[in-house]
A and B are shown apart, each in its own frame.
Chain A
Amino acid sequence: MPPITRLFVKTSLLYLVAAFGAGVLLALRPLLPLPAFVAGLSPVYFHLFMVGWVMQIIVGVAYWMFPKWSKLLPRGHDGLALATYALLNVGLLLRVIAEPAQTVSAWPGWGWLIVLAATLQWLAGLAFIANTWPRVKEK
């Protein structure tokens, strides 16, 4: 398994654990006096699963298993794959912090951090598509 795939898959497993952690917090909310930001965790919980775990494990395995592009660049541009990793994770982590924070704080900066999180994750999707599209070829 290539190092970039290991990076994606191990990170995806950490998000899976984090997603279940967020799920536990949400389930405890009616029972315990938890901090107010926990109320804003619902969308974060779902996206930790779908972006942090599912999307990331797909990206990692696709990078590893999809047909080779060329002898020179068998898995496409590694720079794009690493950019996908950085953009996706910085974007998702920003969302994890800023979205619940916005529900309990009036600081306008949280809103702009959410916009930044959205932009980074969108760019990650584009980088993944750009690097994967040429490898989807008939044999």
Chain B
Amino acid sequence: MPRLSAWFVRTALLYLGLGFTFGGLLLANKGVPLHPLTWRLLPAHIEFLLFGWTLQLVFGVAFWILPRWQTQRGDVRPAWVALLLVNTGIWLVVLTAWLNWPAWVLPGGRLLEAAAVIAFAVHAWPRIKPWMETTD
């Protein structure tokens, strides 16, 4: 798989580990209460598994398998920007919830996540084409 896909997928696997760990603690806390602060893991559990794991896995695999132009994947810069933006956005959202950062940081994080999706779409849009096309 290409380098960027490996970055997306490895990052996604790290978030899967964190998200499952937090989820396990949250579920165990439902069965046998561990600590009142355990519930503060919930936003990170959701954020890490929905965007850190699932979204980045999809981005990584899409970058790898979407149709190419012979061996070329087109302009890959927006896809690299998406990797940077989505991870910055995820941590801004999570840390705002944990550290009581100013309220405007949360929409800022969401904005970065949205920008990541737009950047990835800018990269992927021209690649959504018939497999057999070899020139463009």
Contact = CB atoms under 8 A, between A and B. Distances in A.
A138 B6 contact: yes
Contacts of A133: 10, 13
Interface range on chain B (Cβ under 8 Å from partner): 20 to 34
Nearest to A111: B31
B54 A54 contact: yes
Nearest to A109: B31
Contact of B1 (A54, A98, A129, A138): A138
Contacts, number: 74
Interface string B30-60: 1110000000000000000100001001000
Contacts of A112: 31-32
Given A136-B13, A138-B3, 14 more contacts: A58-B57, A99-B30, A111-B30, A112-B31, A112-B32, A115-B31, A117-B27, A118-B27, A121-B23, A122-B23, A122-B24, A133-B13, A138-B1, A138-B2
A54 B54 CA distance: 9
Interface string B85-123: 000000000000000000000000000000000000000
Contacts of A128: 16
Interface residues of A, number: 31
B31 A125 contact: no
Nearest to A122: B24
Contacts of A119: 24, 28
Nearest to B34: A115
A115 B21 CA distance: 13
A67 B5 CA distance: 12
B80 interface: no
B31 A102 contact: yes
Nearest to A110: B31
A98 B31 contact: yes
Contacts of A13: none
B126 interface: no
Nearest to A124: B20
B38 to A, nearest CB: 11
